[in-house]
Amino acid sequence: MKRVLIANRGEIAIRVAKALNELGHVSVGIWTDNEPEAAHLEYCKEWVHLQGSSNRETYLNVPKILELIKKYKIDAVHPGYGFLSENAEFSRTLEKNGVTFIGPNTKAIEAMGDKAISKQWAEKAGVPVVPGSTGEVPTVAEAIKLCNSIGYPVLLKAVAGGGGKGMRPCYSEADVKINFEAVQREALSSFGNAGLLVEKYVQNPHHIEVQILADKKGNVYHLFERECSIQRRHQKIIEEAPSPFIGNDEALRKNICETAVKLAQAVGYDSAGTVEFIMGDDRKFYFLEMNTRIQVEHPITEEITGVDLVANMIKSAFGDALDFKSQSDITIKGHAIECRICAEDPISMLPAPGKIAGFETTFPQGIRFDHCLYQNFEITADFDPMIGKLIARGLTREVAIRKTLNALDGLLIDGLKTNIPLLKVIVAEEAFRGGHYTTHYIASVKPQEKVSVTESEVKLMEKVASMEMGAL
C-alpha cells in the first residue's frame, strides 16, 4: 500500500483516485484556495491543502508540492495530464527525493519532450518522419531556405509544448516571413521556449495515435490506435477507436502499431504513453510526437480492449506485473467514441466560463461519463474549458454513433454555454457518419454554421452573455 499524491484536479484526478483505491493504495487529493470543494476530493482517501489561487502558485509550483510530499509522507505522485505530467525536471526532482513518479523514466521524457530531439530519435529507430528540419531553425532566412527546398505548404511548429499552440501553416515564402516571429512569440509565451521547427505540411491529414503501455522489465505493448482528426484550433474534440480511416486494413493497423512500439523500445519507455502520427490520403504515415503521459482520450482505448490503462500505469510505476502477459492478450472488441464536453460557445467555439446551475443525465446502455460536475461548480478562465468526457461503446461503429447521439440528447447542463449542440451536429453529419473526415473537418464542413438551439437555450445564452458583459 502506497501513499500517492494526485497532483491534478478535475475529471482526471477522479479517474486516478478511483484506480488507486481499487489497487489498495491511499489516494491523496489536493485542494487549493480557489477550489476548496473540488469534486475529486470526494473520491480521495485524504485531502491536503496546496496554498494558492493560480496554477503557478499551486499545480505548477514544484517547491510547494515537495513540501506536501515531505509533510504527508507521500510515496508517489501521479501527475494526470497537463501541469507537470511531462516535466522532466519534476520527475528528476522526485527521483532525487526517493519518490516514485507515476509516468515514464526521466530519460524517456527528455527524449520525447522536445519535438526536435524526438524526431531525431524516430529517425534513428527507423520510424518515418515528416520531411523538414532535424533541429531548431533559428532564423527566418534559414527557414525560408529550408522551406524552398522541401516545397510548400510547410508548417512552422514550436519545438516545445503542444495543444495546437505555436503552429502555423505557410503556403509561400511571404507567409514564412509574416509568421516566423509570430510563432516564436506564441511559443515563448506558451512554453517558455521560442524554438521552431519547419516541416512539410501534409494536406488532408488524418491524426492517428497509438496507445503504448510498458513495464519496468523491458516489455512494450500497444493497445491499437485512435483517430483524433475532429479538431478545432488543433485541439481534439471527438476521438474514435479504432480508426475509421484505417478501417479493415489490418496490415496498415499492424504496421502503424508496431512502428509505435519500435519507437517506445528505442527510448526505453516504461509507462503509459501515446505515439502520434499524421497520415495522408495515400495511407503513408509519419511520426508527429510522443505524449509521455496518460491522454485525455484514453477511455475509448479502455472500452475497446478492456484494459484499465490508469491502473496498469500505476502498477508499472511500482514494478508490479501488468494485467496481461503478451501482445496477443490484447484484442479489439467493438467501437468507442469520445466527445469532449467543454464550457464554450457552440458556434464560435471559444471558452465561455460560468457557473453550473444543475445537470441531469439520461443515458442509454454502453455510456461512460467522466466528469467533475456538480451544482454551483464555477468554470473559470484559470483552467481548460473541458468539463467532462462522454464515451459511447457499441459492437459496431454504427451502434456507437447511435448511442453517442442519444447520450448527447440525454446530457443536460444548465447555467452556462457548452459545445453539446455542436457535437450533436458533427456526430449526425454525413461525412462523420461515413468516416470520411480529416483534421480540416471543421474548416471545410463548417458544422458550427449548422448549429441550431432551442428558444430556451437562446435565452440562456443571452443571459450568460449579458452577465459576461456586466463582468467586463
Q: Which of 211, 210, 221 is nearest to 321 (CA)?
A: 221
Span between the terminal Cα atoms of the chain, in Å: 50
Yes or no: say if 362 and 368 are a contact pair by the CB < 8 Å rule.
no
Q: What does each C-alpha distance from 431 to 50, 283, 323, 444, 445 come to in angstroms?
A: 47, 18, 38, 11, 8
Provide the sign of the torsion angle of the four alpha carbons 18, 19, 24, 28, taken in this order.
Answer: negative
The C-alpha atoms of residue 179 and residue 353 are separated, in whole angstroms, by 30
Yes or no: say if 342 and 419 are a contact pair by the CB < 8 Å rule.
yes
How many other C-beta atoms lie within 10 A of the C-beta of residue 405? 18
Yes or no: say if 44 and 27 are a contact pair by the CB < 8 Å rule.
yes
For cell 504527508, name the residue: 72
Q: For residue 296, what is its C-alpha cell?
A: 485525455
Helix residue spans in 166-295 (DSSP H): 173-191, 250-266
Q: How far is CA 276 from the centre of its chain?
A: 11
Q: Tell me the catalytic residues.
A: 293
Q: For residue 115, what is its C-alpha cell?
A: 519535438
Any bridge partners for residue 55, and if so which?
none
Q: For residue 152, what is its C-alpha cell?
A: 510548400
The C-alpha atoms of residue 392 and residue 264 are separated, in whole angstroms, by 29
Consecutive H or E run containing 141: helix 140-150
Rounded to 5 degrees, what angle do the CA atoms 250, 395, 307 make? 75
Q: Encode burial over 75-99: b for 16+ CB neighbours within 10 A, e otherwise.
A: bbbbbbbbbbbbbbebbbbbeeeeb
